[in-house]
Homo-oligomer: A and B are copies of this chain.
Amino acid sequence: MALVVQKYGGSSLESADRIKRVAERIVATRKAGNDVVVVCSAMGDTTDELLDLAQQVNPVPPEREMDMLLTAGERISNALVAMAISALGAEAWSFTGSQAGVITDSAHGKARIIDVTPGRVREALDKGYIVLVAGFQGVSQDTKDITTLGRGGSDTTAVALAAALNADVCEIYTDVDGVYTADPRIVSNARKLDTVPFEEMLEMAAGGAKVLMLRCVEYARRYNVPIHVRSSFSDKPGTIISGSVEELSVEQAMITGVAHDGSEAKITVTAVPDHPGVAAKIFRVVADAEIDIDMVLQNVSGTASGRTDITFTLSKTNGPTAVEELEKIKDELGFESVVYDDHVGKVSLVGAGMRSHPGVTATFCEALAKAGVNIEIINTSEIRISVLIRDTQLDEAVAAIHEAFNLGGDEEAVVYAGTGR
């Protein structure tokens, strides 16, 4: 008997009919002889509706209460799925994140999981129940207050439970058939991947592939939990995320896929005095505002002027704050100006094979040149190349690279509507 953890997103649960279909799949998994733990997101629009209500009573709602409010959404969907399972003659118990032992820090709205103590979940499984756990939520170790995990939180809940329960697999049900060589909405012959090693999936997620959030893949890799990404609208096998790139045989594809990200912005601090410690101060100011940066570029200093430009990328959400913080130290550091540009896009090529194939970077750049795409910043890891370009050229860049590395398949990719949290 295997232990399967399944996670269903909001679009898979947006109506009573979809909830019934999800229940059928859960009961089928149980009847096939598995122990089943299910993590559900909030139904379709519930979260947006609750956010809207909050805005009406307070434009800057306190985070503790926001978490109390939003976690009601998963509570509702879980209870409804449990009822739908019961209507099919099986027995299910639902638990809140707190009841399921999802212990977090106290950072409301973006809490991190510290520990999972699933005693009640294990007990219910031992009694023969299907167990439902509200995703996206936990309880603070220090204050015992309800917390939420932020974006991708339900996926992380599922992986964390799978790790704590030593599950055989964590199935993430979503609105695509799996992980593709590129976004099927942009590249119509994008090919579904059967397996992707953890490291490559990490690079794909960091590069902007939305099918799984970075933190969820990090968690799965750390605890070695195989993830099966698949569609809740079909029975086809999806993509298995597991194993290390070290285990790949030489015959396996050297390039995995193309990821893209239109959510970043670029900040350039111009004419920075080129002496030790100035760059460090710039990045310290940004870090102190709790802002993550992605790519960094420092031009070679003009020897005559003794000044240089420092460029970096960050999430658009954090752009205004970063600019504000940098303006504050302008006089102290003596740089010229802060230039903000939110019309950039990032394209990444990921594949373990590129470590041993020196021609990859050349082919990559040639493909972009041929498509008339100008590269603004280039950044690489052992198994990834990323470039920053104009956002208007994002789609054609993805298509050109996908084509240059022959990543396409013979079938048209299937895309379903909606997206979960």
Contact = CB atoms under 8 A, between A and B. Distances in A.
A344 to B, nearest CB: 36
Q: How many copies does the complex hold?
A: 2
Interface string A61-80: 11011101101110110111
Contacts of A59: 87
A84 interface: yes
A78 B65 CA distance: 9
Interface stretch (A48-56, A283-291, A350-358, A405-413): A48-56
A26 to B, nearest CB: 13
Interface residues of A, number: 41
Interface in A284-319: none
Given A53-B16, A99-B144, A84 B58 contact: yes
Contact of A80 (B57, B87, B92): B57
A61 B75 contact: no
Nearest to A70: B79
A7 interface: no
A19 interface: yes
Given A19-B57, A57-B20, A144-B120, A75 B86 contact: no
A83 interface: yes
A177 to B, nearest CB: 26
B53 A65 contact: no
A53 B264 CA distance: 40
A94 B65 contact: yes
A94 B79 contact: no
A88 to B, nearest CB: 9
A38 B357 CA distance: 67
A319 to B, nearest CB: 27
Contacts of A136: none
The 8 closest A-B pairs by CB, nearest first: A16-B56, A69-B79, A58-B87, A58-B83, A72-B72, A68-B79, A57-B84, A61-B83
Given A65-B86, A71-B75, 7 more contacts: A20-B57, A58-B84, A60-B87, A69-B83, A72-B72, A75-B75, A99-B144
